Amino acid sequence: MTTSGTERFNELFSELEDCDENGQKRIIEEMNKIVYEMNEEEFKSVFTKELFYKMNKMIEDKKLSMGNVLLLLKRVGYCKVLKNAWTRSFKESSLNKRFEQMIIAENKKIDEKDEKLLVDLCECFFSLSFIFNHELLSICVPCLVKAALKKEESVEARNEVEIAFLALHNIGICPIEQELYMNEIKEIIKYHQEHRNLSHLAYRCAWKFLIDRLYFDENLEEVIVNDLHFAREAAREIEELTRNVDWKREKEEESEEELALLRWIESLNFFFEMCKLQREEFSGLIGSIVQVFQATKEKCNGIHYHCVYLLETAAGNKAIKVEAFVKGGAVDAVFQGIQLPALNEKMAYESLVLFLKVSRRLKEEEDDEMEEAKRKASKRKVTEKMEEEGYEDIITSFHEKFDFLNRRYYHGLSLNISDYFISV
């Protein structure tokens, strides 16, 4: 979108108060197309506290119908979350307070409750704002989860489910009682696993919403890992998205498929930080991340960096065994990546931290004799591969940069070079 597109949006907005409701609807449909094309900076420059104040004033003066406000703000909220356009403007606006009051008032109704209005209000409020109190969570979460339960295969139904899940995804990390969402989310995920009815975006948002709950409720991990098989499902999604990306594209900006893949990769980081259960399925998930890492090595773009950062996070988690890294090809792939001519400092740092973590994990003592035997076998495989590839010489060549990389990024690298080497 160009500057003229931004100006066109503002021109259309100024025309709204001179139109009847049907005319407003036509104008808003055109505005919604412009919103979808905005980048993050354009989005934040248009949707200011002042614009939301004007919108609220037009509602008060009966110059803009609530139905048309919701038609616009559902698209605005959807695009805000999709583009990661973080902004305080709606939260600090008078329109935010109006929505809060309307949600609470509509929920209190018994006989005349407008369920569609309540869903629309919740979707707009939760996708545009960023801090939510307990009362609003207890009203909106069940409302949005119910909206996401739709199983119809029409385009309209799929779009509505996607909007509901994006709003739920935007809640982020905060405490929510399981009874407000658990049965419905499990039903949605299990139904999708059998029928594949959700879009990639909606399915990722469903998992993101569930995984965010782990921060306050670690008991959820049993459901996520064992009952719903997150690792298997995440691997399948990533592999499918990887096949759909045209990696030979010359354009600098990332395609929709690449962005979808990046969102999945980013979503996994919190899971790898929180995960405490050990499962064989993790090696398949590691393998799918390695596929993306290798596919992006020539571009060295954001996805490539996020892959090595994710693998480095996983390497520090004792629930994910070193065998998963060997079997999934992570050690091999990152070792090849560190030798690329286009390697930058940030990638070098994360790669070295990963090798340091793997080395330390392989040096740990194991109480269980069978596990110790497996670890020694992994040690042997890693050591033999590294000897073949000249690992010690390559790590030694980076030694003089360790202190510089620590000061530039984070103090995660040991200055003792023997910490990076493994002996059987």
**Whole-number Å distance between alpha carbons of 146 and 155:** 18
DSSP sequence for 150-195: ----SHHHHHHHHHHHHHHHTT-S----GGGTHHHHHHHHHHHHHH
The model's confidence at residue 424, banded by pLDDT at 50, 70 and 90, is low
Mean pLDDT of the chain: 89
The DSSP 8-state label assigned to residue 215 in this structure reads G
Residue 20: per-residue pLDDT: 93
Q: Encode pLDDT of 329-339 as tens digits.
A: 898 888 888 88
Between 191-200, 212-221, 278-287, the lowest mean confidence (pLDDT) is in 278-287
Between 276-280, 292-296, 368-372, the lowest mean confidence (pLDDT) is in 368-372
CA distance between the termini of the chain: 58
Interval 190-218 mean pLDDT: 94
The model's confidence at residue 3, banded by pLDDT at 50, 70 and 90, is low
% of residues, the chain, pLDDT over 90 = 57
Amino acid, single-letter form, for residue 379: K
Q: Is 164 or 320 the better-scoring residue by pLDDT?
A: 164
Q: With a cut of 70, say whether residue 162 has pLDDT above it.
A: yes
**Whole-number Å distance between alpha carbons of 322 and 328:** 10
Find, among 280, 287, 293, 279, the residue nearest to 328 by Cα: 287
Alpha carbon separation from 147 to 54, 113, 157, 206 (Å, rounded): 30, 15, 10, 13
Q: With a cut of 60, say whether residue 387 has pLDDT above it.
A: yes
Q: Encode pLDDT of 249-277 as tens digits.
A: 776 677 788 888 988 998 899 999 998 88
Between 190-194, 254-258, 310-314, the lowest mean confidence (pLDDT) is in 254-258
- Taking the whole predicted model, whether its pTM rises above 0.85 is answered as yes
Residue 292: per-residue pLDDT: 93
